[in-house]
């Protein structure tokens, strides 16, 4: 069941550069979230529940490296019988400048059975560089401390996801490619996502029109189909990420929203009584 979490939160390391595609980075004028927002998801492998995940904007604005920031966290944990077989408790977080929405810091705390990994990336967006600090298994001593230089400003895996919520999709056509310059695991990548259009999707919290996005993957023996990974983000002012699904060679894995709190904008179709 660890596959479910690794698929959902390590897509960046599989993205490959593609030449000759357009880049769309114009943002909507109104930020779709506020401090205190939380989405809760059921993580599933096929029809079986594998765990729970949350995406949350921490309740207060933080100051990081002298900048006012939102702190956004993604948490994933195994539950039930799965947690007895494979215990997972992972955290990915980022500090995002509340004016330009670039990250100032990214961190990940990985706990999977006996495996541990603690990392922090410090972004210097003016000097186009990232300081990457990795700690030991007890998260007490620095193991590596290095600098990586870029040619432009970069996103991490969490702030890149926030960026997708904030794009102005009125200027994007079906089949267009969205490119997000990103940093993850010592590497600089072009995180690329194909816009597949708009669909109506039924969820536990209501039925919504949603933008359909598909991260572009290299050829591999894990996923099935031309666009094996799909993410649904509602078209309303809240831009709620309501579903993510990957079609595997055998079965599927994904997230389905089951609760939401602290929305900046309430959707008329939102139903939290189900």
pLDDT in tens, 146-170: 999 999 999 999 999 999 999 999 9
Mean pLDDT within 14-19: 36
**Residue 267 burial by CB count (10 A; 0-12/13-18/19+): exposed, middle or buried?**
middle
From the list 215, 262, 210, the residue with the least C-alpha distance to 240 is 210
* pTM of this structure: 0.88
Per-residue confidence (pLDDT) for residue 134, from 0 to 100: 97
Task: Please provide the average confidence, as pLDDT, over all residues in the chain.
Answer: 87
- Alpha carbons 233 and 241: distance in angstroms, whole number: 4
Between 46 and 15, whose confidence is greater? 46
Q: Phi and psi (nearest 5°) for 81?
A: -60, -35
- Find out whether 230 and 26 touch, Cβ atoms under 8 Å: no
> pLDDT confidence of 268, banded at 50, 70, 90?
confident
What is the residue whose two structure tokens read 């400048």? Answer: 97
> CA-to-CA distance for 33 and 44, rounded, in angstroms?
26
Look at residue 15 and tell me whether its pLDDT is greater than 50: no
Q: Provide the H-helix boundaries in 24-106.
A: 80-85
Tens digits of residue pLDDT in 52-99: 999 999 999 999 999 999 999 999 999 988 888 889 999 999 999 999
Rg of the chain in Å (alpha carbons)? 18
**CA torsion angle 55 26 13 135 (round to 10):** -60
Report pLDDT for 83.
86
């Amino acid at each position: 069941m660890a596959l479910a979490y690794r698929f959902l939160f390590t897509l960046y390391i599989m993205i490959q550069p593609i030449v000759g595609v357009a880049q769309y980075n114009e943002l909507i004028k109104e930020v779709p979230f506020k401090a205190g927002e939380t989405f809760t998801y059921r993580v599933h492998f096929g029809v079986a529940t594998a765990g729970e995940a949350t995406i949350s904007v921490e309740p207060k604005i933080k100051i990081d490296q002298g900048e006012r920031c939102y702190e956004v966290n993604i948490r994933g944990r195994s539950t039930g019988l799965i947690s007895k077989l494979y215990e997972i408790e992972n955290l990915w977080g980022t500090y995002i400048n509340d004016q330009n929405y670039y990250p100032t810091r990214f961190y990940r705390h990985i706990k999977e059975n006996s495996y541990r990994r603690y990392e922090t990336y410090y972004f210097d967006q003016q000097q186009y560089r990232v300081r990457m600090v990795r700690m030991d298994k007890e998260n007490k001593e620095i193991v590596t401390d290095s600098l990586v230089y870029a040619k432009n400003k970069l996103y991490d895996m969490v702030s890149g996801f926030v960026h997708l919520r904030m794009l102005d999709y009125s200027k994007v056509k079906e089949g267009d490619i969205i490119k997000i310059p990103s940093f993850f695991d010592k590497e600089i990548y072009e995180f690329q996502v194909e816009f597949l259009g708009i669909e109506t999707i039924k969820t536990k919290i209501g039925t919504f029109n949603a933008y359909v996005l598909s991260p572009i993957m290299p050829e591999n023996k894990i996923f099935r189909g031309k666009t094996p990974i799909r993410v649904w983000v509602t078209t309303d002012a809240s831009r709620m990420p309501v579903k993510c699904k990957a079609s595997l060679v055998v079965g599927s894995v994904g997230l389905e929203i089951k609760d939401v709190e602290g929305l900046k904008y309430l959707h008329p179709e939102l139903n939290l009584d189900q």
